[in-house]
Amino acid sequence: MNSMLAAASPQSAAAPARGNFMSEKPTVPAIEGWFTTDTDQPHLIGSRCVACGTYFFPRQSTYCRNPACEGSEFEDLELSRTGTVWSYTNACYQPPEPFVAPDPFVPYALAAVHLEKEQMVVLGQVVAGTGVEDLKVGMPMELVLETLHEDEDDIKVVWKWKPMAQGASA
Kindly report, residue by residue over 52-76, the tens digit of the pLDDT: 999 999 999 999 999 999 999 999 9
Spell out the residues 6+ positions from residue 76 whose beta carbon is closer than 8 angstroms to its own: 45, 46, 47, 59
The CA distance from 134 to 32, in Å, is 30
The CA distance from 90 to 109, in Å, is 4
Spell out the residues 6+ positions from residue 59 whose beta carbon is closer than 8 angstroms to its own: 33, 45, 46, 47, 74, 76
pLDDT tens, N- to C-terminus, the chain (170 residues): 333 333 333 333 333 333 345 668 888 998 899 999 988 999 999 999 999 999 999 999 999 999 999 999 999 999 999 999 999 999 999 988 877 788 899 999 999 999 999 999 999 999 999 999 999 999 999 999 999 888 889 999 999 999 998 767 76
pTM of the full predicted structure? 0.81
